[in-house]
Structure 1
């Protein structure tokens, strides 16, 4: 039995992801809310504020709700037209179609089979989105009518592969005109594990499509202002020295885990991330982490003399020297602060040890008497 207080708590906490709909057995609606950030960017979530009691009655198969539902099925052969559901069909159908369309770049859209992909596949995704909204309880619809309507919109896609709104509108018209009927199965009688697996699989598939879109269309801007497509930058990263160092770090962490276990692993990960900048400072000064204070000062003085901007005769290298000079100074300041803190901490530790020794000596003298 579904409880209204639990439903409202889930609505408040995880309403944007459709958590309350999953609790009430409305899995399709939960996926729609999750994929559209709360039902078209929070509009559906806000509407649920006064719709949840009706959903509770349906989930619990309330006698009054079932009597009213039977009356509607007898007096209306097909469910009446619903503006909110119709708009939702258009929005989700267009969103699914646009997502699939973006999986292929403009460069490849008119090469070989790319054009066929842009014209034939997005309407199928549009039909899927329309069909998904059309099957939200208490209604259901077959897939053929939204598919036929979406394929009719291919006429516009031939001239403009981005004109998916025509397919979404025609598909929604077709499913409301011919495809929908009442769903006699009120509630959800499937097992929890099966429902959860299905929902997670659909979410992963949807997220994968978004990953493909980002991979194909996103770009990275370098410090020179050059935009590098992400699909080119990622392979370059895996061939870079940074990735080689990262692989070695991961191997070292795994070996550390085998010896020390999970308890000390987090401390080692934090150390590898170098939050204080100590490791990078040693790298800038070209020193190892066991360098003494004298060695750090000597290296700092030599590098400052070498990279001082006033000693650069070539004007084109002055900017580079200035940047390097500032980097050396920052590295030395970081190491100086860290060493000062450690010296103060060591003094405190020594004092504590001395006080502890004095206390023990006093106790031993009392024991002798």
Structure 2
């Protein structure tokens, strides 16, 4: 069914900051972005007054192309300055919110912060007909976060690096046979969840390896191994190789915290 310009403007006026007009037009990622940032902090919502006609036209043409199943044109679309700046701003915003509310988690800088920033950057890169490579964007975030580990300013460089990566892998979304089709949106977030679980699983396996423990080690075994290794690698006990001991001691502490969190989670379940 063709989308109506008048209906779109009405939805924009009544619930634009919540993305109602984007939901109507089938712009899933744009709608979610507006919900999480309240209409792009109000600025994006106001700017859309002049862009709504092109959104409606785009939605109707998209439906027509999907019905005849024409392949998407190449080469990949250019990344505009506003989109790129939006990726950086929303990435910083998501990262700052995570920094304020979740920084106490032991694996915060390894997973929570980079994945939060990556989610914001990917959400903006997926607005409209464009998208990017989610996995490469998240990997860039994780690598950059490890470089700026512990810094309260790290959301900025992580967001910039992720935005550059997203721009390098910018492409068109696949055509969808249904106007609203949430398939792409669902697939993107399902893939993100898989990446999060896989990365956390890797951290657990590394932690078990550092503490020389089997996969199903009990909390008592984890604690015992941690205390023994902490004594062996304490910097005060290794005056001749303090740098190596300090590094190992930190790794042992981080491994213990990761495994401790795993057991706490299992107990809650």
Per the normalisation by structure 1, the TM-score is: 0.44
Q: Deviating runs (4+, > 4 A) in structure 1?
A: 62-66
Q: Deviations over 1:264-287 (max 9, x none)?
A: xxxxxxxxxxxxxxxxxxxxxxxx
Cα distance change on mapping 1:87 and 1:65 into 2, 3 Å: farther
Q: Distance in 1 between matches of 2:29 and 2:96?
A: 20
Of the structure 1 ranges 142-151 and 156-165, higher mean CA displacement relative to structure 2 is found in 156-165
Gap runs ≥5 in structure 2: 190-269
Do 2:27 and 2:180's aligned partners in 1 also have CA atoms closer than 8 Å? Answer: no
Helix, strand or coil: the match of 2:131?
strand
Q: CA deviation at 1:185?
A: 1.5
Q: Distance in 1 between matches of 2:179 and 2:14?
A: 25
Alignment match, 1:51: 51
Q: Distance in 1 between matches of 2:50 and 2:178?
A: 21
Cα distance change on mapping 1:116 and 1:168 into 2, 3 Å: same
Q: CA deviation at 1:119?
A: 3.9
Q: CA deviation at 1:47?
A: 1.6
Do 1:145 and 1:174's aligned partners in 2 also have CA atoms closer than 8 Å? Answer: yes
Gap runs ≥5 in structure 1: 202-369
Alignment match, 1:93: 91
Cα distance change on mapping 1:38 and 1:51 into 2, 3 Å: same
Query: Superposition pairs for residues 157-168 of structure 1, below 5 Å?
Result: 157-168=148-159
Do 1:85 and 1:133's aligned partners in 2 also have CA atoms closer than 8 Å? Answer: yes
How many residues align structurally?
182
Cα distance change on mapping 1:102 and 1:119 into 2, 3 Å: farther
Alignment match, 1:171: 162
Query: Superposition pairs for residues 183-262 of structure 1, below 5 Å?
Result: 183-185=173-175, 189-190=179-180
Cα distance change on mapping 1:181 and 1:81 into 2, 3 Å: same
Q: Deviations over 1:171-198 (max 9, x none)?
A: 0001111x2112242685356xx78xx7
Do 1:57 and 1:65's aligned partners in 2 also have CA atoms closer than 8 Å? Answer: no
Q: Distance in 1 between matches of 2:177 and 2:30?
A: 12
Cα distance change on mapping 1:116 and 1:135 into 2, 3 Å: same
Instruction: State the Cα RMSD in Å.
Output: 3.2
Task: Determine which of 149, 158, 182 is the counterpart of 2:140.
Answer: 149
Helix, strand or coil: the match of 1:90?
helix
Task: Determine which of 99, 120, 124 is the counterpart of 1:133.
Answer: 124
Alignment match, 2:14: 13
Cα distance change on mapping 1:62 and 1:190 into 2, 3 Å: closer
Q: CA deviation at 1:49?
A: 1.0
Task: Determine which of 93, 118, 126 is the counterpart of 2:109.
Answer: 118
Q: CA deviation at 1:62?
A: 7.2
Do 1:157 and 1:163's aligned partners in 2 also have CA atoms closer than 8 Å? Answer: yes
Q: CA deviation at 1:51?
A: 0.9
Do 1:59 and 1:186's aligned partners in 2 also have CA atoms closer than 8 Å? Answer: no
Q: CA deviation at 1:152?
A: 2.9
Q: CA deviation at 1:102?
A: 2.2
Per the normalisation by structure 2, the TM-score is: 0.59
